[in-house]
């Protein structure tokens, strides 16, 4: 595959993932987090099942344990923490913190599946962690009391990034031998099934009947672009390049996320937050550079031949 196609794929996924913060912020004004998460993955699951049936892709049922674990972290854990945090913090904070923390967290967790944490990667982790701290502190109002709610929201967003990193690390164990489409389809179905009862604990999905066109459009963006499209590309990147380098799709997400949040919601990040984001990206860039001697395994495509 040419470098140009890889760049295009990464860019599409990054834009789709960045759109989720603005879309989620809009939708959360109408429905609570677990109900929104359920709708998101229900829409994506329908699309994934259709594609899997058309392409005759088998689900990795025999690998149900890691698929279940990936769904718990990547579907339930990530969405619960991210959407709960998004209720407390601006979309611009989420757009900065989550995408730039994911590669760092993934590199750290990937050591559990024998990806080396070299001195260069350790330096990247330290630099990026300093940047994340600057982003969080920079979001606090100057000359006033610290916003406990916003701080808690930012910490929840960091937790969601680690949940997603755990999902990426676990998914590597499956997509090494199984179809990416099959894995994403099965994990989405399992995740939806886990989310459904949690939505009943909120408002029992009664909010759906009162949702307006704007909220439904936001949910559609989450289900189609930020899940169906983005997840297939994201996990294809993980299967092709490994969890740490696949996670670098989020390189482009902060810029696009801030742009979406500014245009649609009017959220404006503080200059110090932008400086923190640059520091994070610098650390992630240091973290991302692999030794020249490192060989990259090239598995099959997203869809079966």
Domain-located, residue 294 = no
Q: Checking phi first, is residue 144 left (phi over 0); if not, alpha (psi -120 to 50) or beta? A: beta
Residues 20, 107: Cα–Cα separation, whole Å: 23
Give the integer Cα–Cα distance in Å for 253 and 10.
10
Answer yes or no: is 298 within a domain. no
Contact 181, 51 (CB under 8 A): yes
How high is the pLDDT of residue 48?
96
Q: Determine, yes or no, domain membership for 128.
A: yes
Position 117 scores a pLDDT of 63
3-state helix, strand, coil in the chain (%, to 5): 80, 0, 20
Distance CA(77)–CA(75), nearest Å, equals 6
Rounded to whole angstroms, how far apart are CA atoms 234 and 248?
9
Put simply, whether the predicted model's pTM sits higher than 0.85 gets the answer no
Instruction: Supply the range of the domain harboring residue 9.
Output: 3-288
CA distances from 66 to 61, 166, 193, 217, 288 (A): 10, 11, 16, 33, 26
Q: Is residue 303 part of a domain?
A: no
Number of Cβ atoms within 10 Å of the Cβ of 291 = 8
Question: Which residue reads 């939505």 in tokens?
Answer: 199
With contact defined as beta carbons under 8 Å apart, do 44 and 224 qualify? yes
Do 23 and 221 touch, CB atoms closer than 8 A? yes
Q: Which residues contact 132 (CB under 8 A, 6 or more apart)?
A: 97, 100, 101, 104, 158, 276, 280
Residue 20 has what pLDDT?
81
- Residue 125 above 80 pLDDT? no
Q: Cβ-count burial of 271 within 10 angstroms (0-12 exposed, 13-18 middle, 19+ buried)?
A: exposed
pLDDT tens per residue, range 143-164: 555 578 888 888 999 999 999 8
Asked if the structure places residue 181 within a domain, the reply is yes
98 vs 295, more confident: 98
pLDDT for position 149: 83
244-294: pLDDT as tens digits: 555 555 555 666 666 666 776 676 777 877 787 788 777 766 765 655 444
Residues 6+ apart with CB under 8 A from 92: 257, 258, 261, 262, 267, 268, 269, 273
Q: What are the tokens at 50?
A: 């259709």
- Supply the mean pLDDT for the chain: 80
Tens of pLDDT, residue by residue over 52-99, are: 999 999 999 999 999 999 999 999 999 889 888 888 888 777 777 887
pLDDT of residue 55: 95
- Within-domain flag for 66: yes
Of the candidates 27, 14, 38, the residue with the CA atom closest to the CA atom of residue 218:
27
Indicate the number of domains in the chain: 1
What's the CA angle centered on 174, arms 33 and 166, to 5 degrees? 45
26 found inside a domain = yes
Residue 95 counted as domain residue: yes
* pLDDT above 50 for 195: yes
């Amino acid at each position: 595959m040419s470098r140009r196609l890889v760049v295009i794929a990464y860019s599409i996924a990054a834009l789709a993932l960045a759109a989720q913060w603005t879309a989620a912020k809009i939708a959360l004004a109408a429905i609570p987090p677990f109900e929104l998460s359920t709708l998101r993955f229900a829409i994506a699951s329908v699309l994934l099942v259709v594609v899997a049936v058309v392409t005759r892709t088998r689900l990795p049922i025999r690998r149900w344990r890691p698929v279940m674990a990936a769904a718990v972290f990547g579907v339930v854990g990530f969405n619960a923490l991210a959407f709960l945090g998004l209720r407390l913090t601006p979309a611009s904070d989420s757009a900065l913190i989550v995408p730039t923390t994911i590669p760092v967290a993934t590199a750290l967790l990937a050591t559990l599946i024998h990806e080396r944490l070299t001195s260069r990667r350790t330096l990247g982790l330290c630099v990026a962690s300093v940047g994340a701290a600057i982003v969080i502190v920079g979001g606090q109002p100057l000359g006033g009391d610290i916003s406990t709610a916003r701080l808690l929201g930012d910490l929840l967003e960091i937790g969601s990034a680690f949940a997603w990193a755990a999902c990426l690390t676990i998914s590597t164990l499956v997509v090494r031998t199984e179809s990416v489409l099959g894995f994403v389809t099965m994990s989405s179905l399992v995740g939806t099934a886990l989310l459904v009862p949690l939505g009943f604990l909120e408002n029992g999905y009664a909010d759906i009947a009162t949702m307006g066109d704007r909220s439904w459009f936001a949910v559609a963006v989450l289900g189609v672009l930020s899940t169906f499209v983005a997840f297939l590309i994201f996990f294809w990147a993980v299967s092709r390049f490994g969890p740490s380098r696949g996670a670098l799709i989020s390189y482009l997400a902060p810029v696009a996320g801030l742009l979406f949040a500014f245009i649609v919601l009017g959220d404006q990040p503080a200059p110090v937050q932008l400086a923190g984001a640059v520091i994070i990206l610098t650390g992630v860039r240091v973290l991302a550079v692999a030794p020249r001697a490192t060989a990259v395994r090239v598995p099959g495509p997203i869809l079966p031949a």
